[in-house]
Amino acid sequence: MKLKPLEDRVVIQPAPPDEKVQGGIIIPDTAKEKPQRGKVVAVGPGKASDSGQIVKMTVKVGDTVLYGKYSGTEVTVDGEEYLIVRESDILAIV
């Protein structure tokens, strides 16, 4: 991985969007929703607290996480799309 996140940031590889719904209806590309689930591929060292100590991250590489719909910054590296978010934007570990 060429991206190394700083402080409390996490690099996530979003899961591919669903092609069809439970009823079997196929969704066209223009109507697909952004995924809110992804795999953690890189984690920063943690954020410094007011006392100067580093607060360790609770997520680790390989975790599958749920994140906010409009959170983070989308980047493309070597043709792969990634999302960089703060650890506080991650809602849950699946």
Please, are residues 19 and 28 in contact by the beta-carbon 8 Å criterion? no
Extract the tokens encoding 12: 């996530």
The pTM assigned to this predicted structure is 0.80
Q: What is the pLDDT of residue 2?
A: 80
The confidence band for 92, taking pLDDT boundaries of 50, 70 and 90, is very high
One CATH from 2.30.33.40, 3.30.70.270, 2.40.160.20, 3.30.70.100 for 9-16+27-93: 2.30.33.40
Residue 22 pLDDT exceeds 80 = no
- 33-68 pLDDT per residue, tens: 666 899 999 999 999 888 989 888 999 999 999 998
- 47-48 and 80-86 as β-strands: parallel, antiparallel, unpaired? unpaired
CA dist 56 → 7, 44, 47, 48, 60 (Å): 10, 9, 7, 9, 10
Please, are residues 73 and 42 in contact by the beta-carbon 8 Å criterion? no
In 10 A of CB 17, how many CB atoms?
12
Q: What is the pLDDT of residue 38?
A: 94
